[in-house]
Chain A
Amino acid sequence: MSTWVKVARYHLVRPTNYVLLPCLLPLAFAIGAVTAGRGDGHEAAGYLAGVFVYFGVLGSQTISRSLPFGLTLGASRRSFYSGTGLLGIALALVTGLLLTVLQAIERATDGWGLSLHFFRVPYLLDGPWYATWLTSFVCLFAVFVYGMWYGIVSTRWGILGTLAFIAVQVLLVVTWAITVSSEHWHLRSADGASWAGLTALGLTGVIAALAVLLLAGGHATIRRATV
């Protein structure tokens, strides 16, 4: 068994964190179903964001809670990071498949008999099943990796380091926003149906590239992390 798989198993030794998802999803769905009737077009897809946020928290916790003992078990930082990433891929694949199946059921039942759009996110998760699976997998994995990076920073540099990490990102986003505004770039199409002229799969590709960047950033950080 490779060390990557051992690390992934090590994370799963206490499965409580990972069975929270089946609880979170029905809860978010229930809230969405109750509140969507009050909105236009019974749109409740925003509640699905909770699942993605949860993935980010999960990514952070896999590092911050498990890295010190993981190193004691003889895993190198590289192996630990790769094994944790492997776990993220597996979780994102399974969860993405679950979202795809639930989306298919939602379509077949005309929104669960309520004309509800919970698993059909306009533009992003509203295509064929394979596109939904691919996009949800990529997005889930990206936030998981993003959470991992936070976990590394907080484990190594504590609260101050995390705040500095956030500050740098805020600075980048603000710089980007100012640039977009000053250059009059139109990221959203006139009809509001797409971003930067990309199809949903095109945007998935951009998010995948971002995930690779996040993965590389986290890897570079963990290589210098001490516990």
Chain B
Amino acid sequence: MTAALSVTGLTRRYWDQIALDDVSFTVPSGTISGLLGRNGAGKTTLLRILAGHEFPSSGSVRVLGGAPTENSGVLRRLVFVREDQAYPDIKAGQALRAASWFFPNWDSALASSLLDDFGVRANKAIKRLSRGQRSALGITIGLAARAEVTLFDEPYAGLDAVARKIFYDRLLADFAEFPRTVLLSTHLIDEAAALFEGVIVIDRGRVVLDAPADVLRGIATRVSGPCLAVDALAGGRPVWERRRLGSQASVVMVGPLSADDREQARSSGLDLTPLSLQQVVVQAAAGVLAPVPETGFETERTSA
């Protein structure tokens, strides 16, 4: 599978601050990937550079095989939906009309349908739209553009749960019919987790996790129960977190569990709870993907 996005050694400095530090990753064509991380981690800067809105200080960025900066051949095949998108003083319908001239695969029927679903009136001035409605307009442009590369930066700020579900459903439905490369930055990780084939986690400008989502979903399990039983199961294995409360203990074990492990847990009365993608990302962003030393069950937790 060819890479739609390829970033190598990307660094972006602002005066004495480093927003991105030697970032490298690839995103395969025809996939939906999540770009995750804390506020200020560098996600927006990265997306802006990918879209050619910002300039790298050093490193290489390739979108659909070419550098995006001032490259019309790349830019016309790419759409970038920003959380803080500034619009001119026009109506929602006029913004869609303008978008239809620029994106060769634009689907006007889809755009109208999405506006209806989100409850945004085309003849309403954008400056009079609520925050959620502005987000809905951005999502509409991002989906109806059907660009080969679609970058979403926190696209649903202010959107209610129903509207967000509409976004997920319509994205998946349209993606199934017209596959493209989607990179979605979001803080609502569990909500969007089912969409992702790959996950990139950025923290303080560095990539701390880059893996297929399926691998991450089974990467760690919380084991809870009597101390001795937990100790017996977790002994000698990498562990991210250890907690103890009286005779009960809880650890986060790294790696898949075998059938024997599950049987041992069942017979020992242990609870096994796979870590959600969000929990894995929290661990990654906190810098605790390295195992905790096996020093007994203190109420401890590695932290950033």
Determine the distance from Cα of A72 to Cα of B94 in the docked complex, in whole angstroms: 15
| Residues from chain B with Cβ under 8 Å of A227 in the complex | 53, 86
A14–B89 CB distance below 8 A: yes
Determine the distance from Cα of A69 to Cα of B127 in the docked complex, in whole angstroms: 14
Task: Find A73's partner among B48, B52, B55, B102 (CB 8 Å cutoff).
Answer: B102
Is B75's CB within 8 Å of the partner chain A? yes
* Interface residue count on the B side (C-beta < 8 Å): 34
Knowing A10-B101, A74-B102, A75-B75 are in contact, say whether A226-B48 is a contact too (CB < 8 A): yes
Determine the distance from Cα of A76 to Cα of B86 in the docked complex, in whole angstroms: 17
Determine the distance from Cα of A227 to Cα of B85 in the docked complex, in whole angstroms: 10
Task: Find B101's partner among A1, A65, A66 (CB 8 Å cutoff).
Answer: A1
Task: Find A75's partner among B90, B102, B141 (CB 8 Å cutoff).
Answer: B102
A13–B98 CB distance below 8 A: yes
Q: How does the 8 Å CB contact mask read for B46-82 relative to A, with 1 for contact and 0 for none?
A: 0010011111000000000000001110011111111
A14–B94 CB distance below 8 A: yes
Is B25's CB within 8 Å of the partner chain A? no
* Interface residue count on the A side (C-beta < 8 Å): 24
Tell me the B123-144 residues at the A interface (CB within 8 Å): 141
Is B13's CB within 8 Å of the partner chain A? no
> What is the CB-to-nearest-CB distance from B281 to chain A, in angstroms, rounded to a whole number?
28
| Residues from chain A with Cβ under 8 Å of B82 in the complex | 72
Is B297's CB within 8 Å of the partner chain A? no
A74–B48 CB distance below 8 A: no
Determine the distance from Cα of A78 to Cα of B266 in the docked complex, in whole angstroms: 65
Is A186's CB within 8 Å of the partner chain B? no
| Residues from chain A with Cβ under 8 Å of B81 in the complex | 72
Is B7's CB within 8 Å of the partner chain A? no
16 contacts between A and B (CB under 8 A): A3-B76, A9-B98, A10-B101, A13-B97, A14-B91, A68-B87, A69-B88, A72-B141, A74-B78, A74-B79, A75-B102, A76-B52, A77-B70, A226-B48, A226-B53, A227-B86
8 residue pairs, one from A and one from B, having the closest CB atoms: A68-B86, A73-B102, A65-B88, A14-B90, A74-B75, A66-B88, A10-B98, A13-B94
B: residues with CB less than 8 A from A are: 48, 51-55, 70-72, 75-82, 85-91, 94-95, 97-99, 101-103, 141, 147
A: residues with CB less than 8 A from B are: 1, 3, 6, 9-10, 13-14, 65-66, 68-69, 71-79, 223-224, 226-227
